[in-house]
Amino acid sequence: MTNFIKLFSGIGIVSLIFMSCQDTNTKKITENDTQAPKYVFLFIGDGMGISHVKLTEAYLHSLTQDKPGFEALSFDTLPITGISTTHANNRLITGSAAAGTAISTGYKTNIGRIGKSPDKTEKYESIAYKFQDQGYKIGIVSSVSINHATPAAFYANQDSRKYYYSIGLDLIDSDFDFFGGGGFHKADSLADKNLYALAEKAGYQIYRETINPDTLNVGEKVMLVNPILGSDAEMPYAIDRAHEGGYSLADITKAGIQQLMNDQGFFMMVEGGKIDWASHENDAATIVHEMTDFDLAVQQALNFYLEHPDECLIIVTSDHETGGLSLGNASGGYDTDFAMLKKQRMSYYRSRKISIDKSFDKSMIEDIYGIDDLSDWELSMLALAKHPQDNPDYHMDYGAYHPYLKTCNKILNLRSGVGFTNWDHTAEPVPVYAIGNSQMLFSGSYDNTDIPKKIMEACGFDY
Where in 396-435 is the site for a copy of itself (CB under 8 A)? 396, 399, 417, 419-429, 431, 433, 435
Distances (CA, A) of 463 to 23, 139, 451, 459: 17, 21, 12, 11
Instruction: Name 244's Cβ contacts closer than 8 Å, sequence gap at least 6.
Output: 228, 236, 237, 350
Residue 462 CB, nearest approach to a copy of itself (Å): 25
d(C-alpha 83, C-alpha 116), whole Å? 25
Whose Cβ is closer to a copy of itself: residue 95's or residue 151's? 95
d(C-alpha 456, C-alpha 451), whole Å? 9
Residue 399 CB, nearest approach to a copy of itself (Å): 7
> What's at 57, amino acid-wise?
E
Phi-psi region of 444 (alpha: psi -120 to 50; beta: other; left: phi over 0): left
Residue 2 CB, nearest approach to a copy of itself (Å): 7
Whose Cβ is closer to a copy of itself: residue 116's or residue 320's? 320
Residue 277 CB, nearest approach to a copy of itself (Å): 16
Whose Cβ is closer to a copy of itself: residue 234's or residue 321's? 321
Where in 66-95 is the site for a copy of itself (CB under 8 A)? 67-74, 76-83, 85, 87-93, 95
Residue 235 CB, nearest approach to a copy of itself (Å): 13
Contact stretch for a copy of itself (CB under 8 A) within 270-278, 292-300, 342-350, 363-371: 292-300
x/- map, 319-358, a copy of itself, by CB under 8 A: --x--x-xxxxxx-xxxx-x--------------------
d(C-alpha 271, C-alpha 318), whole Å? 9
Residue 146 CB, nearest approach to a copy of itself (Å): 19
Minimal CA–CA distance to 54: which of 321, 313, 449?
A: 321
| H or E element, residue 249 | helix 249-260
Q: Which of 233, 440, 455, 458 touches a copy of itself by CB under 8 A?
A: 440
Where in 110-149 is the site for a copy of itself (CB under 8 A)? none
Where in 192-231 is the site for a copy of itself (CB under 8 A)? 210, 212-213
Size of the site for a copy of itself (CB under 8 A): 105
User: How many helical (H) and strand (E) elements, i.e. helices and strands, does the chain have?
Assistant: 18, 14
Whose Cβ is closer to a copy of itself: residue 76's or residue 276's? 76
Q: Which of 205, 261, 444, 453 touches a copy of itself by CB under 8 A?
A: 444
Half-sphere exposure of 108 (CA within 13 A, CB side): 11
Q: Which of 96, 143, 150, 439 touches a copy of itself by CB under 8 A?
A: 439
* Residue 386 makes contact with a copy of itself by CB under 8 A: no
Where in 354-373 is the site for a copy of itself (CB under 8 A)? none
Bridge-partner residues for 80, per DSSP? 434
d(C-alpha 308, C-alpha 317), whole Å? 21
x/- map, 231-260, a copy of itself, by CB under 8 A: ----------------xx-xx--x------
> What's at 433, amino acid-wise?
Y
Bridge-partner residues for 271, per DSSP? 44, 142
Q: Which of 2, 217, 231, 359 touches a copy of itself by CB under 8 A?
A: 2
Quick one: how far is CA 390 from the chain centroid?
A: 36
Q: Are 349 and 243 in contact (CB under 8 A)?
A: no
